[in-house]
Chains A and B, each alone.
Chain A
Amino acid sequence: MTRSRCMLLVPVLALAILVGLGVTPAAAQTPKSGGHLNIMLREDLSPGFAVHESSTISTSFPSMPCFNNLVVFDQLKRAETPENIVGELAEKWSWQDNYRNLVFFLRKNVKWHDGQAFTSKDVKFTFDMLREAPEATAKLRINPRKDWYANIEAVEAADPSTVVFRLKRPQPGLLNMLASGYTPIYAAHVNPATYRTACIGTGPFKVKEWRKGEFVDYVKNPDYFMKGRPYLDSLRYVIIKERGTRVAALQSGQLDVSFPGETTKTAAEQLKKAVPQLVITPVAQAVSDNIIMNTKKAPFDNPKVRQAVSYAIDRRGLIQAVHQGGAVPGASMQPKPYGVWGLLEKDLAVLPGYGKPADMKARARKLLGEAGISAQNPLRVEMATRAIAIYVDMASFVINELKQVGIEASLKQVETAQWHAMATRGDYQIGANLTGLGVDEPDANYYENYACGSPRNYSQYCSELVMKMIDQQSQELNPQKRLQMLATLQRQIEEEAARPILDWKLDYFTFWPYVKGLVPHDNIYNFGRMADVWRDK
């Protein structure tokens, strides 16, 4: 072997060893401090930084650098598993009394951006407000995730650095919900309404300026509790409404990082062709396409009609036609390997809409026939959807599928201003909907979207059996057993066509190669703290 060949072999071997150890070359690099990043935003923050009053990524993602949670999903790991939960404001935590009490031991010497000290009072303030406890000292204008905290009986600030969550019954999944990007801690000394216009957090970056409709500027928080972090000096979230301009800005290097959920498979392919050096990571969004059917009104109060709709829609056909392959099939929890609790491919195969399209449609026609609907006596319904392209594309595909089994659906586009009001009131027959899951946790999903009486249970589906199953899985302490219970629950919900899930969307998260330490998660809502991100340029 020649000397030059030896020289060549050394880095190759080193790389092989690093890969073998599970260390990528990027991770092996030493982070550099300093620099600035421009990050894409597709609309202005609404309502400001008030994360607890919002369920949109347009609020949570650009607010992430300002806040901290008690615990959070490890920002450097893509998978959001319970094992990947790490402490943030909580240094450590402990389940006690057979998962009835959750005790957090808080970090000391943490300061709010206005200089005041962070204590257990802030944690109690936040969660009393969220669960609308009688002793709460503040109230949110709207409270979309109240159901997440319904099992908390009391939050006790035992001392300035200890907080105890007392639960009505065991609920191991609570920790997952506390790790979501939707669960930041608010300051007790700040009126929650203030967060609509400003942000007082403990996070790695402080808001410098929010120019409405233009950008949000952050500067490094010099007092951040994690020494040496953040690496970057500043961040700018640039609001660009026009999709073509957003892509051009990323392509031209005016933006360094795209927006979660922004890049479709087709767009990613075009971007890669235009700028081969861009780093594009396919991840799950934790957003599903689904069908909502009003179970309180004819004809969808008849389970057979609902099941027929579910059988009629070819899930794989939809993924190819509407998403060009940029989505995956799944039931009510995000499927593996993107989620922890989803059904396996083999389990899905027996569910409505996953078999051979011709067989599924024949089954749908049979069910409709049993409900008195036939080609001679077709069912005419109005398919409502939001007047947004991604909704309309999906609805159009579904309408075509339904037509093939004898359901004549006409499309009704509803403006965003009216959509949720209409869905909550049940002023519709059938609708094409998108649902984002703030965290891959069954409790968050089922209590929010399937529980009797929940305002976000747009189908108004209510089953005693399913409620019992939801409660049972929620308090199951053995993860394997819980997984089995959830598989049964998911099959039950899909077979009853409570809210047929059509697919789970993928995102092709894009950034320039000099952006390091930014790991997109399989859930768009829970990454973007930016403390570990640095710039290799």
Chain B
Amino acid sequence: MKTYIAQRLGIGLLTLLGMSIVIFGMLRLAPGDIVDILFSTGGYVNPVERVAIEKELGLDRPVWVQYLEWMRQILTGDLGKSYRYDLPAWEIIRPLIPVTLELAVLSLIVSVALGVPLGVISAVRQDTPLDYALRVFSLAGLSMPSFWLGMVIILGLVAWIGWIPPVTYVSPSENFWLHAVQFALPSLAVGYRSSALIMRITRSSLLEVMREDYIRTARAKGQSGSVVIWRHALQNAILPVVTVIGIEFAFLIGGLVVTETVFNLPGLARFLVEAILWRDYPIVQNLVMFIAIVVIVSNLVVDMLYGFLDPRVRYGH
């Protein structure tokens, strides 16, 4: 097990190294840079001043030197300075992380709480009106982008009751209930979409397992329907669902851009897009690396979970 984890971590580090090269290269290949944008706020470009700013920001150095400098900064825990804000990148990134993590976790909880039970019901009541209704519900979730649903929620609320959730971030220590309200609606909007996918995977996986011989044996032994479903069938059907949950979590960390924008939540996904538009390399590079780390770790956690959920899965052999 330890060897397996070490191997996975090693592969993860190599992946991060590859990612760093790709991120760094792609950012430099994109047309325009921060100096163009700084001048854009002034409405002109002056070649002499441009050279001075490039020097000030270290953009006049060869690209490979800039890359090595970034690697050195990462290894020493210094993430550099935001070009746009003239502040340490970590100082800007730090407050964004809990917001996105909280939204992603809450959305995931909503999606699992909705998706797994509804998937089970749908499978058990296969081809009944309830199954059809739940399938329509899940298809609707998959078809409606969460940002669209979010905007409909906002516009609906303001039109009907003249109220919307707070548009400035309220921390739990400041006002817990307002904080809960602020996160409830975006979590529901995002969670509903994810729950649709989880529900469909749960349903198909469970239907497959329900046709297995051991399920028939369990029924023949006289075990009750709920025991067969929840103890025997679901435990074996859950592995693909766990995989999807892991992928969804990783996706949510970087994929909440529009939801964060619509609900005006100061998360890292929204900030990342802004930073890309500003060609704020230190912020973009470090945020993308953070997202890559979350993806790698969540995949590792999912793989570890397999071992706990299914005793047949063993690592290191």
Q: Are A249 and B164 in contact (CB under 8 A)?
A: yes
Q: Are B85 and A420 in contact (CB under 8 A)?
A: no
Q: Are A455 and B45 in contact (CB under 8 A)?
A: yes
Q: Are B162 and A417 in contact (CB under 8 A)?
A: no
Interface pairs A-B: 7 shortest CB-CB: A417-B32, A144-B42, A455-B44, A424-B45, A248-B158, A55-B43, A418-B32
Most chain A CB within 10 A, of B44, B53, B279, is at B44
The digit string for A412-428, where 1 denotes a CB below 8 A from any CB of B, is 00011111110011000
Complex CA–CA separation, A431 to B277 (angstroms): 22
> Count of chain A residues with Cβ under 8 Å from any Cβ of B?
47
Name B82's closest neighbour in chain A (CB-CB): A212
* Interface status of A187 (Cβ within 8 A of chain B): no
Complex CA–CA separation, A254 to B46 (angstroms): 41
* Interface status of B222 (Cβ within 8 A of chain A): no
* Interface status of A376 (Cβ within 8 A of chain B): no
Residues of B within 8 Å of A197, CB to CB, are 85-87
* Interface status of A188 (Cβ within 8 A of chain B): no
Q: Are B86 and A193 in contact (CB under 8 A)?
A: yes
Name A142's closest neighbour in chain B (CB-CB): B42
* Interface status of B266 (Cβ within 8 A of chain A): yes
Given A47-B38, A241-B270, A415 and B46 contact (CB-CB distance below 8 Å): no
The digit string for B7-40, where 1 denotes a CB below 8 A from any CB of A, is 0000000000000000000000001110011111
Q: Which residues of A contact B (CB under 8 A)?
A: 44, 46-48, 53-56, 59, 141-144, 193, 196-197, 211-215, 236, 238, 240-242, 244-245, 248-249, 251-255, 274, 415-421, 424-425, 455-456
Q: Are B85 and A53 in contact (CB under 8 A)?
A: no
The digit string for B152-190, where 1 denotes a CB below 8 A from any CB of A, is 001101110011101111000000000000000000000
The digit string for B254-284, where 1 denotes a CB below 8 A from any CB of A, is 0000000111101000110010011100000
Residues of B within 8 Å of A47, CB to CB, are 38, 41, 84, 86
Distance (whole angstroms) from the CB of A330 to the closest CB of chain B: 20
* Interface status of B244 (Cβ within 8 A of chain A): no
Given A417-B31, A418-B36, A44 and B274 contact (CB-CB distance below 8 Å): yes
The digit string for B291-309, where 1 denotes a CB below 8 A from any CB of A, is 0000000000000000000
Q: Are A53 and B41 in contact (CB under 8 A)?
A: yes
Q: List 8 A-B contacts (CB under 8 A).
A: A141-B49, A142-B41, A142-B53, A238-B168, A241-B264, A248-B158, A415-B32, A417-B33
Name B40's closest neighbour in chain A (CB-CB): A420
Q: Are A242 and B261 in contact (CB under 8 A)?
A: yes
Given A214-B266, A248-B158, A420 and B261 contact (CB-CB distance below 8 Å): no
Known A54-B42, A144-B44, A252-B162; further 17 A-B contacts with Cβ < 8 A:
A44-B274, A46-B84, A47-B38, A48-B85, A196-B85, A214-B168, A236-B168, A242-B151, A244-B262, A245-B167, A248-B164, A251-B158, A415-B31, A415-B32, A417-B37, A420-B39, A420-B40
Q: Are A252 and B266 in contact (CB under 8 A)?
A: no
Given A48-B86, A238-B168, A421-B45, A213 and B270 contact (CB-CB distance below 8 Å): yes
Complex CA–CA separation, A127 to B46 (angstroms): 20
Name B152's closest neighbour in chain A (CB-CB): A244
Name B262's closest neighbour in chain A (CB-CB): A242
Residues of A within 8 Å of B36, CB to CB, are 417-418, 420-421
Of B38, B84, B168, the residue contacting A141 (CB under 8 A) is: B38
Distance (whole angstroms) from the CB of A296 to the closest CB of chain B: 16
Name B42's closest neighbour in chain A (CB-CB): A144
Q: Are A144 and B279 in contact (CB under 8 A)?
A: no
Complex CA–CA separation, A75 to B158 (angstroms): 32
Complex CA–CA separation, A141 to B43 (angstroms): 14
Residues of A within 8 Å of B288, CB to CB, are none
Q: Are B164 and A252 in contact (CB under 8 A)?
A: yes
Most chain A CB within 10 A, of B31, B39, B52, B166, is at B39
Residues of A within 8 Å of B279, CB to CB, are 417
Q: Are A416 and B262 in contact (CB under 8 A)?
A: no
Q: Are A416 and B37 in contact (CB under 8 A)?
A: yes
Residues of B within 8 Å of A236, CB to CB, are 168
* Interface status of B92 (Cβ within 8 A of chain A): yes
Residues of A within 8 Å of B167, CB to CB, are 238, 240, 245, 249, 254-255
Residues of B within 8 Å of A419, CB to CB, are 40
Q: Are B264 and A242 in contact (CB under 8 A)?
A: yes
Name A52's closest neighbour in chain B (CB-CB): B42
Residues of A within 8 Å of B274, CB to CB, are 44, 213, 241
Residues of A within 8 Å of B46, CB to CB, are 142, 455
Residues of A within 8 Å of B37, CB to CB, are 416-417
Complex CA–CA separation, A418 to B279 (angstroms): 11
Residues of B within 8 Å of A248, CB to CB, are 154-155, 157-158, 164
Of B33, B43, B53, B264, the residue contacting A144 (CB under 8 A) is: B43
The digit string for B61-101, where 1 denotes a CB below 8 A from any CB of A, is 00000000000000000000000111100001001000000
Name B95's closest neighbour in chain A (CB-CB): A211
Distance (whole angstroms) from the CB of A303 to the closest CB of chain B: 25
Most chain A CB within 10 A, of B40, B85, B166, is at B40
Most chain B CB within 10 A, of A48, A242, A252, A424, is at A242
Complex CA–CA separation, A144 to B157 (angstroms): 43
Most chain B CB within 10 A, of A53, A215, A245, is at A245
Name A217's closest neighbour in chain B (CB-CB): B168
**CB-contacts of B178-228 with A (<8 A):** none
The digit string for B229-265, where 1 denotes a CB below 8 A from any CB of A, is 0000000000000000000000000000000011110
Residues of B within 8 Å of A213, CB to CB, are 266, 270-271, 274
Distance (whole angstroms) from the CB of B63 to the closest CB of chain A: 18
Complex CA–CA separation, A53 to B163 (angstroms): 38
Q: Are B41 and A245 in contact (CB under 8 A)?
A: no
Residues of B within 8 Å of A141, CB to CB, are 38, 49, 52-53, 56
Residues of A within 8 Å of B266, CB to CB, are 211, 213-214
Complex CA–CA separation, A301 to B85 (angstroms): 41
Complex CA–CA separation, A47 to B85 (angstroms): 7
Of B41, B43, B271, the residue contacting A46 (CB under 8 A) is: B41
Of B49, B86, B154, B270, the residue contacting A244 (CB under 8 A) is: B154
Q: Are B86 and A421 in contact (CB under 8 A)?
A: no
Q: Are B86 and A252 in contact (CB under 8 A)?
A: no
Distance (whole angstroms) from the CB of A469 to the closest CB of chain B: 23
Residues of B within 8 Å of A242, CB to CB, are 151, 261-262, 264
Distance (whole angstroms) from the CB of A433 to the closest CB of chain B: 10
Distance (whole angstroms) from the CB of B47 to the closest CB of chain A: 9
Name B274's closest neighbour in chain A (CB-CB): A213
Distance (whole angstroms) from the CB of B169 to the closest CB of chain A: 6
Residues of A within 8 Å of B158, CB to CB, are 248, 251-252
